[in-house]
Amino acid sequence: MANELVFADLTALRDMLERGDVSSVDAVQACLGQISTHGDRLNAFTEVFADDALTQAKNADQMRGNGEVSGPLHGVPIAVKDLLDIAGRVNTGGTQCWKDAPPAVQSAPAVAALEKAGAIVIGKANLDELAFGVASQNEHFGFVNNPWGDNMIPGGSSGGSAVTLAAGMAYAALGTDTGGSVRIPAAVTATSALKVTTGLISTEGCFAVSGTLDSVGPMARSVRDLEVLLDLLEQTSALRTKPGKLAGNGVSGLRLGIEEQHFFNRSRMSAECQTVMDSVLSDLESAGIELVPIKLPSIGYAEAAQKAIVLAEAANYHSGRLREFRPLYGSIIKPNLALGDAVLAGDYLKAMDFRFVLAREFAAAFEDVDFLVTPGVPFAPTTHDVENYVWPDGSSDHIFDAVWRNFFPTNLVGLPSLALPCGLSDVGTPIGLQLIAQPLCERDLLAAGTALTREFSWQFRAPGM
């Protein structure tokens, strides 16, 4: 039962709690046990709230015993990226500049929604400083390590959030996503994450990276858990998801778009990723899914537009009263903010206009397909010392550009996208898949993801820690 409890998904834990098989104290103690055993090596948290979590768990058990349940997450331990306000806690943003700041007066709406539903925040998850990065290499709180391998990157910037799930330290987590920051870590840890339609979940109470591209995203061990979290999180804004239309009886008949210029560009996939993707596409067709070639003619310009927007908006956010802290920031964010200062207004406006061009191309593609499918990170997770990734043709990209290439386009156009596990590399490390949907179609996206995981057993796997 111990291992079953540690690595249960959120839905299974809720069932165990409702049946009385385990208590909330059991669940919190299981998480704290994993933190005690693996915490120093993985460094997934900037702070753990052990005593408070146990106290809340005891209260949750007492309430349940009295027939009182506060919501669908009653007594469930979760982790929150240290970029979001938690009432009574300091939101450091992953930088030393804020470690002595006053505690937050109230939780960010996304955090509050889960707390109101009964969740117990067990700690603040580590991250790239101020969410600038793809490998969770934090100079102030230490690097986060992937439980799937020694010194292996866990993705970023929400790497700590994903590692808490992969290592059995929490049953759900909150992250943020500006260019892939919940999906990248999910892809390399065999977990699942949802980047929602821009604006669907409130980003209030969160340090900004790029105000027009940021989103808060749920992270979990299974796609079915993401739907539980989305039910709560979408109440934080005026937007609402569209009712789902997909039948719940399998995947046959789905039409999935395949784009080869960018997403399935074989010169930008490792050999092991190609092998996994070839197997995935073959399995999809064998299950009665139609793979439809689609075109996104302008996608080659997307990265330049994304960078112009992110850098300019980040520099603007860290101006004014925040500019005084810039000398104290780490070696990754400081030069990026300097680049942002240099973005010309004309270039920023051209990048913003380009978003509409690319959005129209995605909309045209969706006239012929239900979803787009892409690889996740197009290679097995590297170690922290890799600065440039060498592609099969001998060319190379900075690790940042190589890791985020399949994820940032949906931030640029505001589309929802889902990361889920789909296989293992030759050396036994996770390879992920991404599904992209039309705006506010998260319900169908999650239904498709759940059906695919059921059809092909694309499930969370516990790493051999």
Per-residue pLDDT reduced to its tens digit, 346-371: 999 999 999 999 999 999 999 999 99
Confidence label for 99 from pLDDT (cuts 50, 70 and 90): confident
Please provide the average confidence, as pLDDT, over all residues in the chain.
Answer: 96
Which residues make beta-bridge pairs with 218? 174
257 lies in some domain: yes
Q: How far is CA 73 from CA 278, 334, 394, 418, in A?
A: 38, 39, 49, 22
Under 8 Å between Cβ of 373 and 276? no
Integer Cα distance of 300 and 140 in angstroms: 35
Domain-embedded: residue 331: yes
CA neighbor of 233 nearest in space, from 451, 442, 454 = 442
Look up residue 322 and give its two tokens. Answer: 């925040």
Segment 151-176 shows an average pLDDT of 98
C-beta contacts of 322-327 below 8 A and 24+ residues apart: 325/95, 325/97
For the chain, how many structural domains are there in total? Answer: 1
pLDDT in tens, 69-94: 999 999 999 999 999 999 999 999 99
* The pLDDT value given to residue 464: 84
Residue 280, domain member (yes or no): yes
pLDDT at 3: 77
Instruction: Check whether 247 has a pLDDT greater than 70.
Output: no
Annotation marks residue 181 as catalytic: yes
Q: What per-residue confidence (pLDDT) applies to 2?
A: 63
Q: Does 236 map to a domain?
A: yes
Identify the band that residue 248 occupies on the pLDDT scale cut at 50, 70 and 90: low
Give pLDDT, residue 320: 86
Q: What is the pLDDT at residue 322?
A: 82
Rg (CA), the chain: 21
Q: Average pLDDT, stretch 10-32? A: 98
Tokens of 233: 């999180």
- The pLDDT, as a whole number, for residue 119 is 98
Catalytic site residue from 136, 157, 215, 417: 157
Question: How far is it, in rounded angstroms, from Cα 320 to Cα 6?
Answer: 45
Domain encompassing residue 351: 2-456
User: Residue 461 falls within a domain, yes or no?
Assistant: no
Residue 1 has pLDDT above 90, yes or no: no
| CATH classification of the domain holding 13 | 3.90.1300.10
310 in any annotated domain: yes
Q: Which of 23, 24, 81, 270 is catalytic?
A: 81
- Which of the residues 107, 136, 181, 202 is marked catalytic? 181
Residue 376 lies in a domain: yes
**Residue 47 within any structural domain of the chain:** yes
